[in-house]
Amino acid sequence: MAEFDEVNRKITIKLVYYGPAQSGKTTNLMRLHDLLAPDLKGEIMTLETQNDRTLFFDLLPLGFRTPSGWLVKLKLFTVPGQVAHDATRKAVLSRADGVVFVADSQRSQSVNNAESFQNLEENVQRVGMDFSHMPLVVQFNKRDLPEAQIFSEDEIMQRWSQTPWPLVFSSALVGEGVRETLFKLLEQVYPALDRLFGLQQKHGVGQQAFISAVLGD
């Protein structure tokens, strides 16, 4: 749940990029850091890596001022995908306002995707959140790989046709689909924030203005 700091006139929102190891979670944050307007973002921080793989988490801070003068700050985290770091995943996931599940499009990774998605659902429940109402976007990454190695978009759409979550196809390596993924998540996150904090009524920030302010459009 977002943090409300009335003394410092600040609302802090937590978004988490979840998924199996090496699916491209960190690359998503790196490309967002490249693509978003310089005055909106802080430096990306990566804590404790080994062999270029995240063992703890990455953090990308974003923020903007509302017409009412409040600071809306967004913290984008990744979690480590390795099975051994489940405690860290739960800690990062706790009190999240929305989640991007970064799936690996490679056919060879279907089992890892399924296990990681199940782990997400279990950990959401363990930290006391409601999975059925949690803002969630599923991103299928690595679309730049040869067609023979990855599931086609039609196959993925068919497999996920009975699920309620938005699907985004991306190549985070070259920046395709990463802004679209965040856009889809912000669309889902906004209604809950508006109910909690009166973003429209008290702060003059409607849904489109909220999304545009974060993305720098």
Q: What's the mean pLDDT in 28-36?
A: 89
Neighbours of 151 (CB within 10 A): 21
Kindly state the percentage of the chain with pLDDT values over 70. Answer: 94
Q: How far apart are CA 71 and CA 172, in angstroms?
A: 29
Q: Which residues contact 94 (CB under 8 A, 6 or more apart)?
A: 127, 128
pLDDT at 121: 97
Q: Where are the beta strands (DSSP E) in the chain?
A: 3-5, 10-18, 45-50, 53-65, 71-78, 98-104, 136-141, 167-169
pLDDT at 34: 87
Instruction: Considering only residues 169 and 52, tell me which one the structure prediction assigns the higher pLDDT.
Output: 169
User: Is the pLDDT at 26 greater than 60, yes or no?
Assistant: yes
* Contact between 114 and 42 (Cβ < 8 Å): no
CA quadruple 78, 112, 184, 1: dihedral positive or negative?
negative
User: Is the pLDDT at 57 greater than 70, yes or no?
Assistant: no
User: Is the pLDDT at 98 greater than 90, yes or no?
Assistant: yes
Q: What's the mean pLDDT in 6-35?
A: 93
Q: What's the mean pLDDT in 10-17?
A: 95
What average pLDDT is seen over the chain? 91
pLDDT at 85: 83
Q: How far apart are CA 193 and CA 189, in angstroms?
A: 7
Q: What's the mean pLDDT in 193-215?
A: 94
- Domain span at 145: 3-215
* Contact between 81 and 23 (Cβ < 8 Å): yes
Q: How far apart are CA 14 and CA 61, in angstroms?
A: 10
Tens digit of each residue's pLDDT (9 = 90 or more) over 171-185 = 999 999 999 999 999
Neighbours of 61 (CB within 10 A): 15
Provide the domain count of the chain.
Answer: 1
pLDDT at 21: 93
Give 82's DSSP letter: S
CATH number of the domain within which 104 lies: 3.40.50.300
C-alpha distances in angstroms, 2 versus 71, 112, 114, 151, 181? 13, 30, 28, 36, 20
User: Is the pLDDT at 191 greater than 80, yes or no?
Assistant: yes
Least confident span in 4-13, 76-85, 90-99, 168-177: 76-85
What band does 48 get if pLDDT is binned at 50, 70 and 90?
low
